Structure 1
Amino acid sequence: MHLPTLAAAFLAVLHLAAAAQQVSPGPTVSTREAYRACLDDEEALRAQRAALLKATTTHNAELKRLQGEIDALVATQDQVLAEGGEAIQAFNTKLATLNARAEAINRRGDDYDREQADHNARAKALNARCAGLSISFTDRQAVFAERAATRAKARQAPRAIDLNQAKPD
């Protein structure tokens, strides 16, 4: 082996050994405030999701009821045609009413779709901001203790009474 080649190999080994000794600093530990913000946003999203699920369930049930009414009306069509005159007018009036309800339900469905898209965008942003969050065990425990104390205090707080819903003695 030539002397310059041996020296180059030795330098390469030294470089590899130095690189192996370098330790990566690890993830940056986030603050309690950042952790609280992530948890707060997560709770808000959870509440929004529950409201969206409830609204969607109600919406779907309303659509199903309406479809049942439309099907029942359409089932009378042959009889209505046989009767003619006022029966046809009543049928058409009822059908127009059902169609108007369908349009209103569909508009609300569009609103729910927009709310769902907003929810999904907020969830995506939360995941991007908080998924890689690194928090110390001490800070995590402290934030959990704060949240537990806040929930306990909220349960003990006096609640307003709605006099419109109070039952007479």
Structure 2
Amino acid sequence: MGMSVTISAAVAEDTEQILKLQYLAFQREAELYGNYRIQPLTQTLDSLKAELASDTVLVARLGEEVVGTVRGRIDEDGAGSIAKLCVHPRLQGHGLGARLLRAVEEALGGRESAPTRFRLHTGHKSESNLRLYRKAGYVQVGGRTASDGVRLVVLEKERAAGAADFAVSA
């Protein structure tokens, strides 16, 4: 490719690219479940702007193009909640999802109110996602059914003791 992929905090100007990438990347999930009402496909631009203002939103860039993204926040119970990890289909399978996952864990772990554990979920049929999360140390702790009817697997992992703080470049 000739360029490296960089990971940084998302900025307001990234919102439309993030939404388009999310729509593209989650098509395979929608097809897998026969359900095109999954939240990443129905999210509005205003809802994404609100997440950008309140959550940790990271993007992976190849030049000026946003080719990956992930969101994180600290939940009321103190867990680091990770959501909507996605990578452009043409770059999947090259470790970018794992890099984004580590980056959001490090960004959340570097906060003053750092979580002691991280939590995320994925559809029960999403084998490649489950493989990625298990390889990163996540274990299943439960399940639930999303409002769109998809059965989700809830996974968690403990934050490593003495984990290095990480600052994502702006």
> TM-score higher than 0.5 here?
no
If each structure's strand is expressed as a fraction of its own residues, which one has the higher value? 2
TM-score (norm 1): 0.19
If each structure's helix is expressed as a fraction of its own residues, which one has the higher value? 1
Q: Larger Rg: 1 or 2?
A: 1
